[in-house]
Amino acid sequence: MTTRRLYLARHGAADAFGELTDIGRRQAALLGERLASVPIDAVWHSPLSRAAASARELARHLPDAPVAEAAELVDHVPYVPAPAETPPSWAGFFDGYDDAEAESGRRRAEALVTRFAQAPGPAADGARPDTHEVLVTHAYQIAWLVRHALDAPPSRWLGLNSGNTALTVIEYRTGLPPAIVMFNDMSHLPADLRWTGFPAGGVRL
């Protein structure tokens, strides 16, 4: 059975202008080192500069993998929940989102799933190798793909967060539900580089 493996990573730490910082570059390089032993077929990244720079940095350790932009990976709100679906901690976050913006986000989320969250199709000769693709994107897009893999209600993307360059792995196989192999794993990062990209406060293990 052929498997499509997606290695999802949020971009490295960025500054207030959305540009990758020195910390972010180091995080991305360490992720690249971790993935160096995997037969990566391609590195895809969001059009935003912090993701593009992270992809280029980690790809230095994956010399045989082409690097390309994928518009579907851009940062966006994939689903605007109804008031009854919105957790109290998110109250007010969606104020100002009109129907057109919500529909645009829905279409982008659908395109993301259509392009990447699919099992491999049958090969003409009946044999197709497993594929391994790195997606350097944003926290909301990782949350949406995890929610989709679990077949959870659309609003359950809320509250799923990812640290900068944390690794999430999802497998897609024909005839089987997606399998979440790993979520938000930061074991390639030293303690001082973990947990960046999260709100201040909370327990850090």
How far, CA to CA in Å, does 101 sit from each of 64, 97, 98, 123? 39, 6, 5, 38
| pLDDT above 70 for 203 | no
Contacts of 125 (CB under 8 A, 6+ apart): none
- pLDDT score for 25: 98
Mean pLDDT of 13-27: 98
Bridge partners of 137?
10
In the chain, DSSP finds a helix count (H) and a strand count (E) of 4, 6
Cα 122 to the center of its chain, rounded Å: 26
| pLDDT above 60 for 2 | yes
| pLDDT above 60 for 81 | yes
The pLDDT confidence band at residue 77, using thresholds 50, 70 and 90, is: very high
- pLDDT score for 89: 85
pLDDT digit string, tens, across residues 159-183: 899 999 999 999 999 889 999 999 9
pLDDT digit string, tens, across residues 99-146: 999 999 999 999 999 999 999 876 655 566 899 999 999 999 999 999
At which residue do the structure tokens 């994928």 appear? 70
Give the SS3 label for residue 114. helix
- pLDDT score for 199: 83
Encoded tokens for 3:
């498997």
- pLDDT score for 176: 94
Sign of the CA dihedral running 188, 197, 48, 90: positive
- pLDDT score for 127: 65
| pLDDT above 70 for 153 | yes
| Rounded percentage of the chain residues whose pLDDT exceeds 90 | 82
Q: In what order do the strands lie in the sheet with 179-185?
A: 67-69, 42-45, 131-137, 3-10, 167-173, 179-185
| pLDDT above 90 for 193 | yes
Assign residue 110 a region (left: φ > 0; alpha: ψ between -120 and 50; beta: otherwise).
alpha
In whole angstroms, what is the distance from residue 1 CA to residue 76 CA? Answer: 34
More confident residue, 112 or 1: 112
- pLDDT score for 51: 98
Domains of the chain: 3-117+137-193 (3.40.50.1240)
Mean pLDDT over each residue of the chain, to the nearest integer: 93
